[in-house]
Chains A and B, each alone.
Chain A
Amino acid sequence: MSRQIRSRLPLVLVAVFTVLVALTLLGPTDPADAQRKKVLNIAAKEPDTLDPHSSTLGQSQAIARFMFRGLTRFAIKDGKVTTAEVEPDLAESWTLSPEGTIWTFKLRKGVQFHKGFGELTAEDVKYSFERQINKAPGTRYGVNLDVIKSIEVVDPHTIQIALKAFDPIFLLRMVGYQQGYILSKKAVEKYGEQFKWNPVGTGPFYFERHSPREKVVLKAFDKFHAGRPQIDAVNYFDVPEDATKLIGLEKGTFDLLYPEAVTADFADQVKKMGAVIDRRGPGGQERFYINMTKPPFDDIRVRKAFMHAIDRKAIKETMYPGGLARLASSCVPPGYFGHIPMQFPEYNPELAKKLLAEAGHPNGFTIKNYFISKSFFYPKVLTLAQEQLRKVGIIVELQVVEHATFHENIRKNLDPFVLYGGTRITDADPWLSLFFDSKEIPDPATGNKGTNFAHYRAIDDLLAAGRVERDVKKRAAIYAEAQKRIERDLVCLPISDVPGQWARNPKRVSTPFDPEYGEYSLHYSYNYPELLKVLN
């Protein structure tokens, strides 16, 4: 008997093996095929916080829009996203009192917060704005809500916001962007300081987990008020190097890239691999603010010499040749309400030297410990400028630091001139208020972390007048005057207007908007992440 079994054993084994092979071949090649998840893989830098009111860093701004919404949103018109008109989002309608100071918003019913934090109510809206107005630790955009006098909850779905005076762009301020995001009051109170890694909003994706220095994982929110997004999950990878991002895009590891800087080489490589660059305006402006209170830049001749020393065209062309960016024409970028072209001292190193000599610096001067971020365009633009300044005798000794340290240090006024980039709401008021209002002068003594790096005080009256002016033409004239004063005082030198650009693998991800300026966008990201689709 046992011999019989032994002799048949090979046969049995062969039979079993054949059955197994057959099962393998006949079965689905991938067991997950039937329910394959649509996963969007984004390569960016790690956000420093997920509290949308807290960070000015691009990567943090970009991910916020996946999780948070505001009362209004930018209107989609003729297949384009505008930045001047708004349409309802979390609010379904609104009215303005005849004297123009009381806005009443009716909230959409049944809008749910992530993770069971319940329905959106007027309390959450009030809380989201008041925490910023009251300058809760870490919040950065309170100044954009300065126009608000008081907020009153009428009923759970009605909120009344009283303004100090008429505000022509109040609905723009209510867009889901920076100060406009609505958070869950319960969640902020529950998590406190830790809200930054436990974000709860009403956006199309909810936060699932954060693996430090690796990725942030977001999941589709089934109860999103405009319907569940097509994408099931978003992996927001921490990839500091553009070269690594490009390799990932080519190999299919990443579908979308948030690059440090789109240089000619980057654009070429993206094109060669059959990917596209989604270009969105108005984009960010890269510019210098000169601290007019810090010697020797308190002397206008030195500021003028600085501007004569900088070859803006050479910097722009080296960084972004041809159409990759435009030479900046004003301290309020084109595409923003109120923009007018300004004049800047032309490139003339000889004149710069002469001015420096007149100001008592015949041999120039040295700036020690000048801090510059190691990320994005910062080190590159500064290296270009450093050499140009050296030619007229201004020696800049660099300390290249982490991006967050750079942000901290420039708010401690450690750099006599500050290179800065980024976008804000596309109207002259928020832009000028953030960068030229005296209330925004950073001061380590008071903890003011504003962004008026020029320490400028000469347009406060115009800003106040513009905020209450109802006549569009008169408003435009006010901001034109503001730009003329800035031009006169030589405190801001804009270099390049760079559109927001992300590289995308079109075989993997589709957007409803045309890649070339099809979607106006603020802060580099897609305004409507729920409209992105993963194709296979």
Chain B
Amino acid sequence: MAITRDALPELTAVGARDDLRDRSLGRQLRRYGPIVIGVLMALTMVVVAAAAPLLAPLSPSAQYADAVLKGPGAQDRHVLGTDEFGRDVFSRIIWGARISLQVGLASVIFAFALGVPLGIVAGMQGGRVETAVMRCADMLMAFPTLLLALIIVTALGGSLVNEILAIGVALTPNFVRLARSLALTIREQDYILAARALGGGQLRIMARHVFPNALYALVVVATLYIATAIRTEAGLSFLGLGIPPPTPSWGNILSEGRQYIKCCPWITTFSGLAIMLAVLAFNLVGDALRDLLDPRLRGE
């Protein structure tokens, strides 16, 4: 997984030779298809989330008393039907993308910002510092992500910021562990020795040499964790511990719709589909990034 910046030019050269050898469309598609699809899907989500006020045909909280629990196409204005309060499911899903994306990105950034420095310090310093950091991470790792997030949200109360904090904290140990293992590999490299010989301080080495060389692997994993964060957010909202109503999030649309699953399956189907597609998008991007950046997989 770990690669070094110094090794990259050579790898790129190998990749280029591969491309020259196999220019067949099938192979190109196999190689770049998932990333293109994933990136397109993720981009769509970002655009939808950013332009929610423009894209949503109706207000997500407006209640239409004449269209309670009506199917897709009701009253010529509800594309995906309405929920128990006569609210437009399509508009709610569009607005819900905002919450999912905000939580997904912000919690991963939080976990990254907290976990990576800790992991690198642990890996480079070793000794007591490493033991302390890693045992704390182990303690957090003992809880499944959703459970840990659930405990934190229950303690803090449901709100956007608390949800981001909760999921961020729950994801942090993953970044700590990865950053430490990368740091352990990188610190043995010759260029670190060289940097040290030139008189580079520990902090400088960590910031200028270890971190940039660990970045690619960390970014790949971060992308995958966005999917986890979106799923966890949906889980929390589904359990009623996420964003308080009436703010729509995919999880609470799903949760509110589940008691009407027999008569009005469109509420759960479309919100479930949104969660599935979003998770799929980030997983595809993450997987494809890994394939592209992992030297072991590149040559295949």
Q: Is the CB of B68 within 8 A of A242?
A: no
A387 in complex: contacting residue of B61, B69, B84, CB < 8 Å: B61
* Complex alpha-carbon distance, A264 and B260, angstroms: 11
A243 in complex: contacting residue of B62, B68, B259, CB < 8 Å: B259
* Complex alpha-carbon distance, A321 and B258, angstroms: 20
In the complex, whether A164 has a CB less than 8 A from a CB of chain B is no
Q: Is the CB of B262 within 8 A of A243?
A: yes
- Chain A 365-422 residues near chain B, CB threshold 8 A: 374, 379-380, 383-384, 386-387, 390, 397-400
Q: Is the CB of B84 within 8 A of A242?
A: no
In chain A, what residue has the closest Cβ to B244?
A398
Give a binary string over B227-246; 1 marks a CB under 8 Å from any A CB, 0 the rest.
00000000000001000111
In the complex, whether A78 has a CB less than 8 A from a CB of chain B is no
In the complex, whether A514 has a CB less than 8 A from a CB of chain B is no
In the complex, whether B191 has a CB less than 8 A from a CB of chain A is no
Q: Tell me the smallest distance from the CB of B254 to a CB of chain A, in Å.
A: 13
Majority secondary structure of chain B interface residues (helix, strand, loop or mixed): loop
Contacts of A264 in B (CB 8 A): 69
- Given the known inter-chain contacts A399-B157, A399-B244, A400-B240, please indicate yes or no for A241 contacting B63, CB distance below 8 A: no
* Complex alpha-carbon distance, A268 and B262, angstroms: 11
A318 in complex: contacting residue of B86, B245, B259, B262, CB < 8 Å: B86
In the complex, whether A82 has a CB less than 8 A from a CB of chain B is no
* Complex alpha-carbon distance, A242 and B245, angstroms: 20
Q: Is the CB of B63 within 8 A of A318?
A: yes
Q: Tell me the smallest distance from the CB of A28 to a CB of chain B, in Å.
A: 38
Q: Is the CB of B62 within 8 A of A387?
A: yes
Q: Tell me the smallest distance from the CB of B155 to a CB of chain A, in Å.
A: 14
In chain A, what residue has the closest Cβ to B59?
A387
* Complex alpha-carbon distance, A303 and B246, angstroms: 23
Contacts of B62 in A (CB 8 A): 387
In the complex, whether B273 has a CB less than 8 A from a CB of chain A is no
Q: Is the CB of A379 within 8 A of B245?
A: yes
Residue in A317, A380, A387 whose Cβ sees the most chain B Cβ within 10 Å: A387
In chain B, what residue has the closest Cβ to A268?
B263
B264 in complex: contacting residue of A265, A321, A379, A400, CB < 8 Å: A265
- Chain A 224-246 residues near chain B, CB threshold 8 A: 241-243, 246
Q: Is the CB of A241 within 8 A of B65?
A: no
Contacts of A386 in B (CB 8 A): 245-246
Q: Is the CB of B261 within 8 A of A263?
A: no
In the complex, whether A161 has a CB less than 8 A from a CB of chain B is no
Contacts of A384 in B (CB 8 A): 63, 85
Q: Is the CB of B263 within 8 A of A387?
A: no
- Given the known inter-chain contacts A241-B259, A399-B157, A400-B245, please indicate yes or no for A263 contacting B84, CB distance below 8 A: yes
In the complex, whether B119 has a CB less than 8 A from a CB of chain A is no
In the complex, whether B158 has a CB less than 8 A from a CB of chain A is yes
Contacts of B259 in A (CB 8 A): 241-243
B158 in complex: contacting residue of A241, A263, A383, A400, CB < 8 Å: A400
- Given the known inter-chain contacts A383-B246, A387-B61, A400-B158, please indicate yes or no for A269 contacting B262, CB distance below 8 A: yes
Q: Is the CB of A390 within 8 A of B61?
A: yes
In the complex, whether A314 has a CB less than 8 A from a CB of chain B is yes
- Given the known inter-chain contacts A269-B262, A318-B85, please indicate yes or no for A400 contacting B65, CB distance below 8 A: no
* Other contacts beyond A243-B260, A314-B63, A384-B63: 17, CB < 8 A: A246-B262, A264-B69, A265-B260, A265-B264, A269-B263, A317-B65, A318-B65, A318-B84, A318-B86, A374-B240, A387-B61, A387-B85, A387-B246, A390-B61, A398-B244, A398-B245, A400-B244
Q: Which 10 A-B pairs have the closest CB atoms?
A: A243-B259, A398-B244, A314-B65, A265-B263, A387-B63, A387-B61, A318-B68, A383-B245, A242-B259, A398-B245
8 A-B residue pairings within 8 Å (CB atoms): A268-B263, A317-B65, A318-B86, A380-B84, A383-B246, A387-B246, A399-B157, A400-B240
**B interface, CB within 8 angstroms of A:** 61-63, 65, 68-69, 84-86, 157-158, 240, 244-246, 258-264
